[in-house]
Amino acid sequence: MTVVNLAALKSANFRTYVSGSIFGLLAIWMQRVTVGWIAWDLTGSSSFVGLIAFVQFAPAIVLSPLFGVWVDRVDVKRATFLIQLVNFGVMFAFYIFFAVGWLAPVTMIALTLISGIALAANHPMRMSLAPRLVRRELVGSVVAIVAINFNVARTLGPAIGGVMIGTIGVAATLLVQALLFLPFLVALLRLEVRPRRDTATDPGSFFEALRQGLAHVWRTPVIWRAMVIGGALATIARGALEILPPLADGVFQRGPEGLGVLLTATGMGAVVGGFFKAALPPQAPGRIPNITISAIVVGLLMVSALGAAPGWMLALTVAAAIAFVTTLSAISMQTAIQMELEDDMRGRVMSLWAVVVAGGSAIGAWALGVLADLIGFQETLFWAGILSAAGLTLYLVISRRRG
C-alpha cells in the first residue's frame, strides 16, 4: 500500500506556513470568483471576463523573471511578507471601490493589474520560501503538500464566495476576503527560514543573473521539456478554467451560485489530483512521469468534452477532470524542476516556470474569450481542445524520436 508523502508536516515550521497560507489562499480564490462574477455582471461579455483574467496573469510574463532574480538576492521571508501586504491592500481596495460605486470596467482593470503585479512576485517567492522551511530531502513532500493546500482552498474558496455573494452581497464578500489575509501575515512573521545553500557561481549583475537562469533552463532537458508541456496545458486547459463565468451563466443560466458550484467542482478535482500525485511512488529525478504526460493529453481532450457537454452535471464532471489533470501535471513538473535546482538558482528558474504557467493562462483566457464572442463559447472550447491535443502529441512523438 502506497503512503501519501506528507513527511514535511513533521516540521512545526512548515506546519505554521501551511496553516497560515490556507487563509490567504481562501481569500485569493474567493476574490477570483467574486471579481469574475463582477466582470460578467457588469458587461455580459466573455471577452471582458477573459481580459480581466489576462490582466491578472499578464504581468507575470514580463515581471516574474525579474522578481525571481530579486528573490535569489534578498531575505525571502521579508520579501514575501511585503508582497502579501500588497495583496491585502488590493483586496481591501476592491471592497472600498465597490462599496462607494467606483468599480467600473476601467477601475476593475487598474486594480486587477496591481493584483497581477503582486501575483508575478508571489510565484517565485512562494516557490523559493516553502522548500527552505524544511530539510532538502523533504522538498518533494513540500511540493505535494503545498499543492494540496492550494487546491483545498481552490475547492472551498469558490463555494464560499458564490454562497456569500448570493446571501450577504458582493461588498461584504469583498471585505471578508481582505480580512482573511491577516492570519497569513501573522504566520509569516513566525517562520524560520533555512539559510540559502549557494553554489560557487557568481550571479554578477542583475541581468547576468537572469541570463544564468535562462541558460540553466536551456541546458537542463527535463526543465525545458516541463516548460514546453506546462505551457501548452496552461494555455488551453487553465485558460479555459479562467473563463468559466460565461459557461455557468451564459450557457447554463446558473448565476453566481452556479459559478461557485462550478469552481468548487474544479477545486475538488484538483484536490483529488493532488492527493493522487502524493500517493504515487516518489518521483525519480531527471524525468517527467509517463502517467503525467498521458494525463495531459487526455486533459486537453477534456477541454473539447467541456465544450460539447449538453448538460450541467456533465459539465461539472468534465471541469473537475480538467482540474485533476492540471494539478497532477503541475505537481509532477514542479517536482521535476525543483529537484534539479540549488537554492541560489531556485527563484530565477521557478520564476520562469511562473511565466510559462501564468503567461499561458493569461494568453489562453483572453484568446479563448475573444473567440467565444466570435464563434460561440462551446465551439471555441471544442476546437481548442482537439487542436492542442493533436499538436502536443505531435511534439511528444518528434521529441521522443530525437531522443
Spatial distance between the Cα atoms of 403 and 397, rounded to a whole number of angstroms: 10
At 356, which amino acid appears? V
Element housing 192 (H / E): none
Give the cell for residue 111.
486594480
Q: Is residue 2 part of a domain?
A: no
Q: 43, exposed or middle or buried, with CB in 10 Å at 0-12, 13-18, 19+?
A: middle
How do residues 194-241 score in pLDDT, each as one tens digit? Answer: 776 555 455 566 677 777 777 777 888 888 888 888 888 888 888 888
pLDDT of residue 177: 93
Number of residues assigned to the chain: 403
* 3-class secondary-structure state, position 196: coil
Q: For residue 2, name the pLDDT band (cuts at 50, 70, 90).
A: very low
Concatenating the DSSP letter of every residue in 319-361 gives HHHHHHHHHHHHHHHHHHHHTT--HHHHHHHHHHHHHHHHHHH
Please give the model's pTM, rounded to 2 decimal places. 0.69
Cα separation, 36 vs 53, in Å, equals 8
Residue type, 73: R
Q: Is residue 200 part of a domain?
A: no
How far is Cα 30 from Cα 109, in angstroms, rounded to an integer?
18
- CATH code of the domain covering residue 280: 1.20.1250.20
Tell me whether residue 201 is in a domain. Answer: no
Please indicate, yes or no, if residue 376 is contained in any of the structural domains. yes
Grid cell locating 270: 484538483
- Which grid cell is 327? 494539478
pLDDT at 3 over 50: no
pLDDT of residue 150 exceeding 80, the answer is: no
**pLDDT at residue number 145:** 82
What are the cell numbers at 175? 471585505
Residues 6+ apart with CB under 8 A from 55: 109, 112, 113, 116, 362
The whole-angstrom separation of Cα 379 and Cα 373 is: 10
Distance CA 343, CA 210 (A): 15
pLDDT of 262 strictly over 70: yes
Answer whether 7's CB lies under 8 Å from 141's CB: yes
C-alpha cell at 75: 531575505
Query: What pLDDT, in 10s, does the model give residues 234-257?
Result: 888 888 887 788 888 878 888 777
CA separation, residue 315 to residues 166, 268, 306, 364 (Å): 22, 14, 6, 20
Please give the distance of CA 359 from its chain centroid, rounded to a whole number.
11
- Residue 379 in domain: yes
Tens digits of per-residue pLDDT, 71-95?
777 788 888 899 899 999 999 999 9
Q: Give domain status of residue 4, yes or no.
A: no
**How many distinct structural domains can be found in the chain?**
1
- Cα–Cα distance, 308 to 318 (Å, whole number): 10
Mean local confidence (pLDDT), 125-150 = 78
Question: What are 159's three cell numbers?
Answer: 463555494
Q: How far apart are CA 254 and CA 262, in angstroms?
A: 10
What is the chain's Cα-based Rg? 20
In this predicted structure, the answer to whether residue 20 has a pLDDT above a threshold of 60 is yes
Q: Which domain holds residue 41?
A: 11-192+206-401
Sequence-distant (≥ 6) Cβ neighbours of residue 330 within 8 angstroms = 147, 230, 357
Question: Residue 1: inside a domain, yes or no?
Answer: no
Cβ contact 133:17 at 8 Å? yes
Q: Which of 361, 273, 309, 259 is nearest to 30 (CA)?
A: 259
285 vs 320, residue with greater confidence:
320
Q: Would residue 301 count as lying in a domain?
A: yes
Query: Rounded distance, CA 343 to CA 129, Å?
Result: 10
